[in-house]
Chains A and B, each alone.
Chain A
């Protein structure tokens, strides 16, 4: 009925490429990302190594592929965590709108928002040591209030509708109504927000592993590749430019996808038609 917007197609395509790379990397990469060959280090892109090699002589293409896996995994799980924690909170707040629970939840949200994300991430890793898991936790924590807010916002507008009244008259409780009526009808909002958070997650993961707080070696991650490449940018630019583009393109893809999804899913825009 509706034809898909260009943004959605382009975005999905871009994202797809990296998702695919990540999938393939689970079974096959051109070279082992752990195998070092000091003799063959810092090679510019060429026939043997399409994206060249890094300072340990590792194949950058392979590392990009596995790195995609890392980034996507971290981002997806972090967003998942944000949803799992945030959506129920949001539903709860909306169900008790104006009540104490609502107030507490929303103030809690503001508080989390008030903390400087990167600093907290650094602290978390200072406490538990750096690892992909802690990166996920750090990112997840800051996703939670976002979803709580979006959920509450969407839910509040639904709670004013008559079919919720009807459900109440049919003797249904807040929880049941939230699950049966509210959740399915804010799914679109959540999908759109999810995509956006996903792309932000990729950026965050990159930033964290850039400062060395993300996935630990030998597991490659785009952010750390950038960090390692930084001092060599002037004589081995490919080491910095390729992972950089990997990040930019993935995030770009996801954002475009988010826009596209919003265009076809967001009820607000649909009512506008």
Chain B
């Protein structure tokens, strides 16, 4: 039987349609996955259920939970339900907790608010809950403050808070998107476990099909505020009736076709590089503790080669990247371009011209006050003087990345995320560099856009014989685009080798852990389907 039944939920915000006739049922004690790309309306659906919509929201439809239409209830009653019968956790654990309250108080508050317990009882209960979500009392006493916890730990606190009163429905809105893959796995286990033990239902909202495949019993696929297809997970994954679903799957499983021709010429040579930072002193006169971000990393990258660098946040890959880009000096070892010229913040411009970069955030990567032409041509600064055929080269670069010369006179805000990444690539290409560092270059993109960009990158690599240093936390992507891969952990490269071999037969335990933690869609579910959709 179903715990909650949503009927024809439609929503407009300030007149713009957000949801249209969304209907679904969440069965008792099951996990219901709601999948869709950004802007598909999945988050709004959950907020609608909580009746926490932003101002100007105009909602119609029903959400029936044991005979009551939630939408018909007044605010007070709703307050009684939130956190009590329906709990919710959000995407950003870093900001989801009140920075000035201890985690104990924040968990306890949920209980106190609903009069479920006195403060003392509440605190003991809070303790239990925190233990339940894997924050043991020894390392995580109640008087800890959020800023003393990692992202994953904070998400656990949020969960403890949400399930403190054993709600019958837990809504999790992209609960693991902001987390590292190993942490993600743990959190998903935790959620699954709670569902199984406490018999509560879980509405899991995510953009990641693999995640749903792993934990959800039922799935609904959303597009443009509509549910285009829903059903039990396996069935839906196998059939994929709706073509949007198909495209989604195709994209997520997509691998660009590449015939890499790796030459012998060494583009980048990193030789036992060290970089460490001084941390604030513990005691006033004690020694300054040091964080060794990169400890003796060495590798080489050849022309035409695409080298992957995977690792979780804090493993030192960003620091290494900055050093390779010549934005930070290293304290030990050396980084050399073309195997000879040393890279450093003071390196000569002509040398810099051989090296370009594409960043993760398509929104922060461009000066909003500049026209595309100026943005793309900024690297000309590295030239002795701006080339005479600047305009042509701008147009050429834009065309190469699949935009039109006309776009040169537009401002960046006129472009979508995917287009922006294309512009970023154009900027990287304009000087005909030999090496491009791709720093999480596709991580912020929706699957379908990501697929296109990957294709573009593959094509460009062949046409220009570029060397790629591809930095990412997403193993799928790395596997899809790199020839060799390096696994980085706490400042060191723990494993390196041919991508396929490493993935097929990981040597280092950490590599295994990573691969194991990465959610995958069971191979047999998708047999034969992918290629079909590709051609």
Contact = CB atoms under 8 A, between A and B. Distances in A.
A163 B381 contact: no
Nearest to A271: B363
A162 B369 CA distance: 15
Contacts of B506: none
A106 interface: no
Contacts of B367: 163, 180-181, 184-185
B369 A184 contact: yes
Interface in A174-202: 180-181, 184-185
Contacts of B38: none
B290 interface: no
A171 B352 contact: yes
Nearest to B349: A171
A169 B365 contact: no
A162 B364 contact: yes
Contact of A169 (B356, B366, B369, B375): B356
Interface residues of B, number: 24
Given A184-B369, A185-B369, A169 B364 contact: no
A124 to B, nearest CB: 39
12 contacts: A163-B365, A163-B367, A165-B325, A165-B359, A166-B357, A169-B326, A170-B382, A171-B352, A172-B378, A172-B381, A180-B367, A184-B369
A168 interface: yes
Interface string B350-392: 0010011101110011111100000100110110000000000
A167 interface: yes
A185 B364 CA distance: 12
A27 interface: no
A161 interface: yes
Contacts of A185: 367-369
A166 B359 contact: yes
Counting chain A CB atoms within 10 Å of each CB, the highest count among B359, B361, B375 belongs to B359
Contacts of A165: 325, 327, 357, 359
Nearest to B437: A169
Nearest to A181: B367
A162 B365 CA distance: 5
A162 B366 CA distance: 7
Nearest to B374: A180
A213 to B, nearest CB: 41
Contacts of B360: 162
A158 B472 CA distance: 24
A170 B382 CA distance: 6
Contacts of B356: 169
A256 B368 CA distance: 27
